[in-house]
Structure 1
Amino acid sequence: MKSALHSPTRLAGLSLRNRIVMAPMTRSRAPGNVPSALMATYYGQRASAGLVITEGTSPSPNGLGYSRIPGLFTADQARGWAAVAKAVHEGGSRISLQLMHSGRIGHPANLPEGAELLGPSAIAAAGQIWTDTQGMQDHPAPREMSEADIAATRDEYVRAALLAREAGIDLVEVHAANGYLPGQFLNPKSNQRSDAYGGSGENRRRFLLELVDAVVGAIGADHVGVRVSPFNPFNDLAANFEGEREEYLALVDALAERGLAYLSLIATPGAVPDEVVDETRRRFPGTLILAGDYDATRAETDLAAGRADLIAFGRPFIANPDLPARLAAKAPLADMQADKLYTPGPEGYSDYPALSQTAAA
């Protein structure tokens, strides 16, 4: 009898071979911010997942805060993503492209000429970021976005979503987790505006919901997902602030009304209370993806309990390109090379062997 994790299912009209999702992970292999042939190889190797979600991809030059991350706002970038989509489809999977605007997380040394760091408020994030030309640098304060900037950024997301669909991408995921631009608007530590986009929880949700509505209007709700990470201090956000549970669940309610393809919740044990995960399940009637330090046993348990429809695995996919086969065979998992996570080139990226290659060796 096939396990729940390995059983086929459907997502917004798409057939998935299993309920295993490759989670989005920054890998910094896009020189010049253009998806490379090496990236197509990497994603194609991992196409035995039911759904592959790409690394964060900026819809704007202003959102390229990290070194060598891809964008999707030029013809060259669109061609690169079309090659990735082709490789994933040929491998039998579906692909969702994660749209990630880094907002205040970044440094001018990582941005193309003419781009600038933007954020909901002119508040620098604590900590430092890597630059290829200057090494580690402090996060500078971003420029506070005007309403014109907000409207222009919405238009950039719409353009990127349209380019993604034209490139053969099945779905797009609006990244509202982990302290990037939409998450910066949601959080009172990074958003201290006094206009319609700041102050109350309703106002702080406005940026994300208007963004989602614009993308849905362009490509349809059944092609759009959203990723969230409540109670998460990553990138210098306030975690467990007063009213966060209620604000998060109000956001879930608002997203549920929009009939999206999926909601992806980072629910790492100990970070998100179980009752909040279960309340998310009750309130969101569409496909729910859970992520956060999953192994096969916990994944099977949560699927069997109906807590989620799909389970996302991140780090295990790095060194185990055929992770679904390894999980099905209960085979040991290979260890990743942590020092090669963000370095250029194939080493520690596309050179991990499949289980069949390991056995043959």
Structure 2
Amino acid sequence: MKEQDEPVLASTNITPLQQIMASSAGALLTSLLVTPLDVVKIRLQAQSKPFTKGKCFVYCNGLMDHLCVCENGSSKAWYKAPPGRITGTVDAFVQIARNEGVRSLWSGLPPTLVMAIPATAIYFTCYDQLRDLLIHRMNNAETACLIAGATARLGSATLISPLELIRTKMQFRPLSYKELTQCIQMSVANEGWLSLWKGWGPTVLRDVPFSAMYWYNYELGKKWLCQRYNKLEPTFTISFTAGAMSGSIAAVVTLPFDVVKTRRQVELGELESLKNSPKRSSSTWKIMYRIISENGFQGLFAGLIPRLIKIAPACAIMISTYEFGKAFFRKLNNERQLKVL
């Protein structure tokens, strides 16, 4: 059918405010469901290889990365030493809930919500608006999705980058807002306004290709599943499945840049927390070369399974909730129009 060959325009009968509400709901639900997985992962990592003073680790729940610096065997951020010997993932959930309370499974959630929700709302809303605009001007819908995905991620990453820098500085050591302001002013005075976008390069190298591939494969997968099950519009299950598959593919392809970004964050964190640490080049390509020299080519794909375990459900939950929210508002708007008529 012709309707199945043409993608449903996301903004049809949907206002930008409703798109923002749908994407915010998706970000909230994703954070609530995926955060406990990373809390458990960090506890298991710390048990097998305890974090020493000045050691950094990256906390990521599928939406945002957080750099944690350990002090005196623990951290001032979102890490606590395991209360007892943990034998596995299920046991970790049980012990954390029993000894520290169920809320401890969502450690680190507030800073995620503060930044992830506005960043996600900007990203998804921009993608839908750009995608619909490009589809009207281009003959190839999949290419329009690829360009819109890359452009939306580039824009959102650029807008959020200064906030990421501020958050990272506050994670390295306790800073009052006055001290933080002075630190930023000094950085701008010495290095210019571009200093607020430090770390933008590795983030863009990872996230822009991820976004382009994710949306391209998602739209293809969604269209194929709709045709296979004879659906005019994607169901929650179709969106969930297409989101998980496309997120997994993009996660595998962009993993080397994720490894580089993580290494760069950790090295800068240790340099900041331990002033006598030797300074090393933070160039993306030099870090990549150093990883290959130390660990071989396979070092660029370290952590593949943990990344897939987080990214696949996070992408699936986020996109299916977003699509469900848009369908809800579309139906609501149609009912309102019928009442007016």
TM tier relative to shorter chain = under 0.3
Instruction: Give the alignment's TM-score, normalised by structure 2.
Output: 0.26
Instruction: Give the alignment's TM-score, normalised by structure 1.
Output: 0.25
Higher helix proportion: 2
